[in-house]
């Protein structure tokens, strides 16, 4: 399987999973059920800290580029370690086939921690926005490359109605321009990883950050491994970092958080 085909394959699988989910809980029923869910926690508020860089710590077992990242994977133990280390928010990878996640993790983690929880997945339809809130997400990740401008507007509007924030992710100038034309997108993610090749280029952040208006909140994702990486982004003016792999590979997660963030 070539690297270029990987995103296509992930999307095909996601569409199959989506069809099954809709059979189990139809969209109209989901819209009713979601009204009874406890209100969302304020995600943007949690990561918007003046003069410091916030950490969104990620829980993921595997990735298409690396396979299994953490052998002794226990999502609740990891969430507990993150909470104790003082992270500002937690990102939960829920994609089942390539990242070995599960949407049920959202609720279980949410019940254990007091910080907001982001659902990270390949969101392609409004159904998944309702589904995210139903399972306890406080925020969702939207990938600009996979969605039209109209879809981004529609999904962020639904999320806002449900009390969730949306992190809209870009990884090149074309995607950034597409997102900056949209009103109401307050939170922009710069992903140093190209989702089509899965290669990481830290220069992506340097190229794109200066093009983003100062009133937007910026989260940098992928390829962050050292305190120097974080310090560079802090000096640049980045508001938050989203880190998963470095923590998933660490023997002691809480120690690694402290080492990377210099807390």
CB atoms within 10 A of CB 24: 8
CA pair distance 243, 249, nearest whole angstrom: 11
Q: What residue has token string 């597409």?
A: 178
Q: Is 166 a catalytic residue?
A: no
Q: Which pair of structure tokens corresponds to residue 29?
A: 């029923």
- Please, what is the end-to-end C-alpha distance for the chain in angstroms? 42
CA pair distance 140, 193, nearest whole angstrom: 18
Q: Is 169 a catalytic residue?
A: yes
Q: Pick the catalytic residue from 132, 175, 221, 256.
A: 221
Q: Is 58 a catalytic residue?
A: yes
Q: Is 95 a catalytic residue?
A: no
Q: Pick the catalytic residue from 60, 61, 110, 256.
A: 60
User: DSSP letter string over 41-82?
Assistant: P-HHHHH--TTS-EEEEEE-SEETTTEES-SS--HHHHHHHH
Would you say the C-alpha torsion 191, 197, 201, 203 has a positive or negative sign? negative
Q: What is the four-CA torsion angle of 61, 63, 47, 215, rounded to 10 degrees?
A: -170
Q: Pick the catalytic residue from 120, 166, 175, 178.
A: 120
In angstroms, the Cα distances linking 254 to 53, 104, 145, 230 are 17, 24, 33, 17
Q: Is 172 a catalytic residue?
A: no
Q: Is 120 a catalytic residue?
A: yes
Q: Pick the catalytic residue from 54, 91, 166, 191.
A: 191
Q: Is 221 a catalytic residue?
A: yes
Q: Pick the catalytic residue from 14, 61, 95, 169.
A: 169
CA pair distance 3, 178, nearest whole angstrom: 25
Q: Pick the catalytic residue from 14, 54, 58, 132.
A: 58
Q: Pick the catalytic residue from 63, 91, 192, 222.
A: 222
Q: What secondary structure letter does DSSP report for 137?
A: -
The neighbouring-strand residues paired with 193 are 200
- The residues carrying an active-site annotation are 58, 60, 120, 169, 191, 221-222
């Amino acid at each position: 399987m070539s690297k270029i085909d990987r995103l296509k394959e992930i999307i095909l699988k996601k569409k199959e999973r989506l069809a099954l989910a809709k059979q189990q809980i139809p969209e109209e029923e989901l819209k009713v059920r979601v009204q009874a869910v406890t209100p969302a926690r304020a995600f943007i508020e949690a990561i918007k800290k003046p003069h410091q860089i916030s950490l969104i710590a990620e829980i993921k077992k595997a990735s298409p580029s690396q396979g299994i990242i953490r052998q002794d994977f226990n999502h609740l133990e990891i969430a507990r370690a993150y909470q104790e280390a003082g992270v500002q928010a937690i990102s939960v990878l829920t994609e089942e086939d390539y990242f070995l996640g599960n949407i049920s993790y959202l609720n279980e983690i949410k019940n254990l921690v007091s910080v907001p929880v982001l659902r990270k997945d390949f969101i392609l339809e409004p159904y998944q926005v309702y589904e995210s809130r139903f399972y306890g997400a406080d925020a969702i990740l939207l990938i600009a490359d996979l969605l039209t401008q109209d879809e981004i507007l529609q999904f962020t509007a639904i999320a806002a109605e449900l009390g969730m924030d949306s992190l809209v992710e870009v990884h090149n100038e074309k995607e950034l321009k597409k997102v900056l034309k949209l009103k109401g997108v307050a939170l922009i993610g710069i992903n140093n990883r190209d989702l089509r090749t899965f290669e990481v280029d830290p220069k992506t952040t340097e190229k794109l950050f200066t093009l983003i208006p100062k009133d937007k909140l910026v989260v940098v994702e992928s390829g962050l491994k050292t305190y120097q990486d974080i310090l560079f982004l802090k000096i640049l003016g980045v508001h938050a970092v989203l880190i998963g792999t470095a923590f998933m590979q660490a023997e002691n997660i809480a120690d690694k958080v402290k080492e990377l963030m210099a807390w």
